[in-house]
Amino acid sequence: MANNFGTVEFNGMELGLTQEAYVDNYGTDGEVRYYANVVDADNNEYKVTWKTSGEFDKSSELYSLVEELKNLTSQKSFDDGEINRMSELEEEIETMESEGISSNYCEDGANACDWENPINIYIV
């Protein structure tokens, strides 16, 4: 069993990862999922899926808000809609940070999922 990228257990089967997990939201109605190809002891190929954690999702949302605010404030002039949006972003960012949410949490994929507990597996 190839496991160059580690192993994961699902329903009692030990599976060897044949690639690093990658992120995608295709076909998930906008939810982010991580995927990796794996093989069992008989070299049958599967794809395993992990759901991102709530902490990672909140951190990613905060990161997006901060980036949107940076993009808006980098302009030389602002219309009323942009000024209002910047105020909204600042309030949302302040609220999230006061709740202990950090955008740094999403910068490391190690925090993205509960890697020991994939949510799905299917034959490739």
Is the CB of residue 101 less than 8 Å from the CB of residue 59?
Answer: yes
Provide the residue type at 25 as one letter: N
What are the backbone dihedrals phi and psi of residue 67, each rounded to the nearest 5 degrees, phi first? -65, -40
Q: pLDDT tens-digit profile of 83-106?
A: 899 999 999 999 989 998 887 777
DSSP 3-state of 39:
strand
Residues of the chain with pLDDT under 70: 1-3, 26-28
**For the chain, domain boundaries:** 7-53+113-123, 54-106
